[in-house]
Structure 1
Amino acid sequence: METTTRNILVAPLNWGIGHATRCIPIIKALQQNNFNPIIASDGAALAILKKEFPEILCLELPSYEIEYAKNGNHFKWKMLKNMPAMIDAILNEKKIVKKWVKKYDLYGIISDNRLGVFSKKIPCVFMTHQLNVLTGNTSWLTSKLHQATIKKFNECWVPDFQKNPNLSGKLGHLDHPDFKIKYIGALSRLKKMPLPQRYDLMVMLSGPEPQRSMLEERLFEESLRYDGKVVFVKGKIETEQKVLQYDNITFYNFMNSEELEKTFNESALVLCRSGYTTIMDLSFLNKKAFFIPTPGQYEQEYLAKKLKKEGLVPYAKQEDFRIENLLEVDLYKGLKPFENKTSWKQLFGLFERE
């Protein structure tokens, strides 16, 4: 009888909460396959996983200090200015993880876009939907740098499908990769449920500041002009949940996975950012949606354009959005679920020790 605790470190990037929430199904799958997940992150990503898994050991990593520019056109420069702090955090991460490998007798690492969470001593997985990192005219450079980092890991897991149709398009697909890629299918913590409709519109905010707050102000004013029942989830992770009724709108500062799943299923239409995790969630839920990409974030702009072109979901720029835009949704098909045939047992085979 084997009594060893097979510890696997799961470390999502704290950039919005998408990286954290898409790790939820992976953490659950590890538990079901007799591994013991240990969670490591910082900020809101760590807070959300602590709420979700109060029984799991959670460790703190240094923050990449990601902030968005107020003006979308300055997005890239803000990120460049932030580079020294980010590199500093990555180097610190490496030192910390080196200690943890020994201290917690780690069997493996799953890093969701955390570049320094890596060890040569144990099997390491890098999870990302961005094999190509879009940054406008510097995309080739940022993509090459990102791929060079991914190469150090034993495997790269892409939460998408290899063939068409897929969700990530050119973000998650390379013509001639020189490292090991496994397409693990779309991931979501949410399931489709046959619930009666309670809301005509669900507004779902997410992503780093100050853009989250700017969109909140914008959509608050627009939602007041909406003819129907609105549930408005601000995406602010705070210690206590606050619920406020104002006119036709019910406000929540945040919801846990269970509440979100229920509310998504009770809503006819979703208005949100075009972040990749959100897109995966909406496809699991078979939802009609309208997107407002984060200004200046090339990845979200690319995904919104891709899905519009495929006739699935319309979008508008943040400064152009009016509540009347939602009438366009009826002309689009909405996101459909994919069949996911991922075998976790096979994937986790990488962490089996003799």
Structure 2
Amino acid sequence: MFDNINIQRVLVAPLDWGLGHATRCIPFIKALQELGKTVLLAGDGPSAQLLQTEFPSLTLLPLRGYHISYAKSAWGLPWQLLAQAPSIFQTIKDEHAWLDAMIEEQQIDLVISDNRYGLYTKKIPCVLITHQLTIKMPFAWLERHVQKIHYSLINRFHTCWVPDCKGVQNLGGDLSHPLKMPAIPVKWMGLLSRFELSNQSADAFKYKYCFLLSGPEPQRTLLESIILKNIVDLKEPIILVRGLPSTSESIVTENVNLIVYNHLPAAELAQVILSSEWIICRSGYSTLMDLAALNKKAILIPTPGQTEQEYLAKQLSEQGIATTVAQSTFSLSESIAQAKKLNADSRASKELPFFNTNILQGLLLAIESL
């Protein structure tokens, strides 16, 4: 398909739907650097700011994001996304044209796109990273229809890398292991986490509760408000990481035991999580991979109406790895009571294999043989 492929300059571009797509790019950007590759980043907004914080020396190419916004209610989310469909497909078209220009200008040899469906071309190899080969929908007929459209987008790329494990022991369940696969080659990367793997368990926790916020607005802010109301009278040490890497605005809180950060770099955030007794967060896939890397269980609050997060939270709850609660009924005291019933011996990571540089080397060799 390609003659004399010599991969030296690699473009990495994550979707700007929350921060998870950017955070899970961190480990393979580091691996690309270990292999001596020149990495170029592309994006805008908070996700691009996060990667610039982690990799200040790398070039960031401005690329307009999808700028997805959520509804305030679960029932309104499908309609909100449907209303944004024309804008989404226009962005796909625009970034496709942008890539054609950038390939020559920046001498790009390989594109790695995390869920940005317009970053494909016939000129050079293009990889799509996604854990969501199946997009969960409320009706089976609708799910089949959406998957057909989804696969038509995936099949424009040369290969698909899935951040999960092949086989029965996996994290994504049906999301990453559909009955029917795309037409292009699919490779499993292992789990992707920005954190170093750890089995550390603290003898004494620094924080009683650690709240990790993420995801598109207005749902991020709505959950933040709910949390702040729940912790007004708590006397234990609490930490809240707001998931806002591109803002310097602070929030006013009545609780003197609360420490608030807009954002924390990966190494510092890992230490906060490890030194916290209880983790309360969304059930986004990248967040779950990070928790698995640190072998930490959590209380999961799926984004209302986001079927992927609801599916993952339910699956992990049934396995005794996490407790899940709806945002509309969240009570910290009740959630902690439920979480205490979790099996202390069940591992959050399920001993799943994680991505490493050797895996990446194999994936790149497979591309060079296309």
TM-score normalised by the chain length of structure 2: 0.90
Residue type at the aligned position of 1:168: G
Residue type at the aligned position of 2:232: L
May I ask how many residue pairs the two structures share in their alignment? 351
1:331 aligns with: 341
2:132 aligns with: 130
1:287 aligns with: 296
Residue type at the aligned position of 1:301: E
Q: Is the 8 A contact 2:244 2:263 kept in 1?
A: yes
How far apart are the structure 2 equivalents of 1:341 and 1:64? 27
Stretch moving more, 121-130 or 241-250: 241-250
Equivalent residue of 1:202, what SS? strand
How far apart are the structure 2 equivalents of 1:162 and 1:149? 22
Aligned with 1:183 (options 184, 188, 196)? 188
Q: CA deviation at 1:42?
A: 1.9
Stretch moving more, 328-337 or 292-301: 328-337
Q: CA deviation at 1:280?
A: 0.3
Aligned with 2:159 (options 155, 160, 182)? 155
Q: Is the 8 A contact 2:27 2:192 kept in 1?
A: yes
1:237 aligns with: 245
Q: CA deviation at 1:224?
A: 2.5
**Hey, which bits of structure 1, 4+ residues long, moved more than 6 A?**
none
Q: Is the 8 A contact 1:204 1:272 kept in 2?
A: yes
Structure 2 residue ranges without an equivalent (≥5): 1-5
Q: CA deviation at 1:351?
A: 5.0
Aligned with 2:309 (options 295, 300, 309)? 300
How far apart are the structure 2 equivalents of 1:264 and 1:56? 27
Q: Is the 8 A contact 1:225 1:323 kept in 2?
A: no
Q: Is the 8 A contact 2:7 2:109 kept in 1?
A: no
Residue type at the aligned position of 1:165: Q
Equivalent residue of 1:189, what SS? coil
Q: CA deviation at 1:201?
A: 1.1
Equivalent residue of 1:9, what SS? strand
Equivalent residue of 2:207, what SS? coil
Structure 1 residue ranges without an equivalent (≥5): none
Residue type at the aligned position of 2:54: E
The sequence identity of aligned pairs, in percent, is: 36
Equivalent residue of 1:346, what SS? helix
Q: CA deviation at 1:239?
A: 4.9
The 5 A counterparts of 1:173-322 are: 173-177=177-181, 178-191=183-196, 192=198, 193=200, 197-226=205-234, 228-240=236-248, 246-322=255-331
1:164 aligns with: 168
Equivalent residue of 1:46, what SS? helix
Q: Deviations over 1:83-140 (max 9, x none)?
A: 1111111111011000111111111110000000111111111000000112322222
Equivalent residue of 1:73, what SS? coil
1:340 aligns with: 354
Stretch moving more, 171-180 or 70-79: 171-180
Q: Is the 8 A contact 1:224 1:249 kept in 2?
A: no
The 5 A counterparts of 1:34-73 are: 34-73=36-75
Equivalent residue of 2:293, what SS? helix
How far apart are the structure 2 equivalents of 1:112 and 1:287? 25
Q: Is the 8 A contact 2:279 2:299 kept in 1?
A: yes
Equivalent residue of 1:268, what SS? strand
Q: Is the 8 A contact 2:302 2:327 kept in 1?
A: yes
Residue type at the aligned position of 1:232: L
Q: Is the 8 A contact 1:276 1:300 kept in 2?
A: yes
Change (3 A) 1:252 1:148: same
How far apart are the structure 2 equivalents of 1:164 and 1:331? 26
How far apart are the structure 2 equivalents of 1:5 and 1:155? 15
Residue type at the aligned position of 2:361: K
Q: CA deviation at 1:197?
A: 2.1
Q: CA deviation at 1:338?
A: 2.1
Residue type at the aligned position of 1:59: L
How far apart are the structure 2 equivalents of 1:24 and 1:194? 24
For the aligned residue pairs, the C-alpha RMSD in angstroms reads 2.0
1:30 aligns with: 32
TM-score normalised by the chain length of structure 1: 0.94
How far apart are the structure 2 equivalents of 1:135 and 1:341? 29
Equivalent residue of 1:303, what SS? helix
Equivalent residue of 1:200, what SS? strand
The 5 A counterparts of 1:101-140 are: 101-137=103-139, 138-140=142-144
How far apart are the structure 2 equivalents of 1:60 and 1:341? 28
Equivalent residue of 2:111, what SS? strand
